Amino acid sequence: MARRFRRKNPGVEEIFLFFIVAGIGIYVLKEAADFLLSDAFITIGKTLIKAAIVIPLVCFGIVAVASLIYVLSHYYDERKVKLRREEIEKKIQEQKQREAADRQERAFRSRAIADLRRMDPEDFEHYVAALYKRQGYSAEVTQRSKDEGVDVILTDKLGRRTAIQVKRYRETGNIGRPIVQGFFGSYSTKYDAGIFVTTSDFTAEAITYAQENNIQLINGVGLSRLRDKFEPKDSQLTEALSIEQLVA
Q: What is the CATH number of the domain that holds 191?
A: 3.40.1350.10
For residues 137 and 185, membership in a common domain is answered with: yes
Question: In whole angstroms, what is the distance from residue 206 CA to residue 212 CA?
Answer: 10
* Residue at which a domain ends, from 118, 145, 165: 118
Question: In whole angstroms, what is the distance from residue 91 CA to residue 62 CA?
Answer: 43
Long-range Cβ contact pairs of 37-44 (< 8 A, separation 24 or more): none
Instruction: Check: CB of residue 238 under 8 Å from CB of residue 209.
Output: no
Q: In sequence order, which residues have a C-beta less than 8 Å from that of residue 108 and are 6 or more positions away?
A: 224, 237, 238
On whether residue 96 sits in a domain, the answer given is yes
Residue 190 has pLDDT above 70, yes or no: yes
For residues 113 and 131, membership in a common domain is answered with: no
Question: In whole angstroms, what is the distance from residue 176 CA to residue 203 CA?
Answer: 5
For residues 139 and 103, membership in a common domain is answered with: no
pLDDT at residue 155 in the model? 93
Residue 247 has pLDDT above 70, yes or no: no
For residues 185 and 114, membership in a common domain is answered with: no
On whether residue 146 sits in a domain, the answer given is yes
**Domain of 48?**
13-118
For residues 177 and 114, membership in a common domain is answered with: no
Residue 83 has pLDDT above 80, yes or no: yes
On whether residue 3 sits in a domain, the answer given is no
* Mean pLDDT, residues 178-198 taken together: 92
Q: How far is CA 65 from CA 51, 76, 77, 101, in A?
A: 20, 16, 18, 53
- Kindly report the length of the chain: 248
* Residue at which a domain ends, from 58, 92, 118: 118
End-to-end CA distance of the chain: 164
pLDDT at residue 79 in the model? 80
Residue 3 has pLDDT above 70, yes or no: no
For residues 103 and 181, membership in a common domain is answered with: no
For residues 91 and 146, membership in a common domain is answered with: no
Q: Give how many domains the chain has, as a whole number.
A: 2
* Residue at which a domain ends, from 60, 95, 118: 118
* Mean pLDDT, residues 156-179 taken together: 87
pLDDT tens sequence across 31-47: 666 655 566 656 766 67
pLDDT at residue 27 in the model? 65
pLDDT tens sequence across 167-178: 887 766 789 999
